[in-house]
Chain A
Amino acid sequence: MADFLSNYSIQKWLESCPQGYLEDTVYGHGADEREPEELLKNEQFREAQIRTTVQLIAGERCALAASSGLINAAPDAASKTFLATQTLDEGRHVEIFTQRLFDLGIAQDDLESTIKTYINPNLGKFAEVLLEKVDKKDFVAGVVGQNIVLEGMAFSVFEMLHATSSDMNPKFAHTLAGTIADERRHVGFGENRIGELIRRYPEKKPEIERMQRDMTKHMLATFHDSFAASPLAAASPSVAPGARKSAGTYQGLNLAEASNEEMEGALSSVVLNEFKTRLGRIGLEYQSPV
């Protein structure tokens, strides 16, 4: 175990991340990459992008609060070190998605009011459930909530957004590729560290499963509201107007023809299946919110 935990080092993070896939990037993308002009000129599409980006910022702010809050609750130095690197990853995610709002034309002074206008209230409830565990310094529940439920959801959402933007918005796709690479480490830490700890503290299972059920309920409500509130953005979140016909596929769905309901169903199905599989591997039973 000691050798395994030594993988959670700052040096390895430096070589993989800032000296690796983030080398030569500016706010997570190439210095010469820009939001598509057609998107910026169309107010309906621009607003849809702002709405989507606000949800990403809200999720990342929650992840930043959770990962930093869990450092002092971690039972060993290696986990503290890993969570320190994750805290910087999450801080970077908040920054790059905030920068995207500025790139979409939001003035710096209007940042907080824009977030307040567009944030989905269910996402706030989702965060509250997790941060309650973090505030209580409950490391095992906090890491399950943060690195398996929240990061598992983020991993799937980022992959969907990446699939829908890779052809038509390379700047956003590039930004997302870096966050997906970060999420790989985060979900890996969640499964590997908790997979071992949950065997040591099996009495914690019922409480953690309740937390997962509540977080799942708020997550599904967030998906539903997001796809219903912003029809154009929901099905094709990052492409320029007129570009949907050349958009790719996601989970077998043709993005040029998929309805919002189909997209919501596909994303929910992917995330829930991931939850079941990941929780099952570490000895927890997925709890349906229905």
Chain B
Amino acid sequence: MTDPLETERPVQERKPRRSFELEETGFNEVPKRFRKFYRRWRGPGDTLGPNEALCPVCKVVIRSVKELRAGDRVYCMPCMSRLELVEEDGMLLAKVIY
């Protein structure tokens, strides 16, 4: 018998996540040790990397050392929001968890 949760999980989920080296971006709105995990959103021309999510509350980009996927939970320290990533229309969006 096959576990339904296993079969429903996308094939992509079983692939190992890519790793990323985070460098400082000049973001200074959180304590120094956390600064590399955030960057400023540069507006409509900006794009998110596979390890990034945009906080819908304060418009700061959250960065991870690992590729992000739907179902992941991330924390936006500048506005102290807890977020969960969901996939809508093929795009990864961050939703606030209240």
Contacts and interface: CB of A to CB of B under 8 A. Distances in A.
Interface string B9-49: 00000000000000000001111100000000000100000
Interface residues of A, number: 25
B29 A281 contact: no
Interface stretch (A37-45, A91-99, A192-200, A254-262): A192-200
Interface of B: 28-32, 44, 56-58, 60, 76-82, 96, 98
A20 B56 CA distance: 23
A282 B98 contact: yes
Interface stretch (A49-57, A121-129, A179-187): A179-187
Interface of A: 4, 7-8, 12, 15-16, 19-21, 181, 184-185, 187-189, 191-192, 195-196, 199, 252, 277-278, 281-282
Contacts of B60: 184
Contact of A187 (B28, B32, B79): B79
Contacts of B78: 16, 181, 184-185, 188
B40 to A, nearest CB: 10
A15 B57 CA distance: 21
Given A192-B96, A277-B56, A184 B79 contact: yes
**Residue with the highest number of chain B CB atoms closer than 10 Å, among A4, A19, A199, A278:** A4
A140 B30 CA distance: 27
Contact of B79 (A21, A185, A196, A282): A185
Contact of B81 (A16, A191, A199, A277): A191
A217 B32 CA distance: 41
A281 B58 CA distance: 13
Given A195-B98, A277-B56, A188 B81 contact: yes
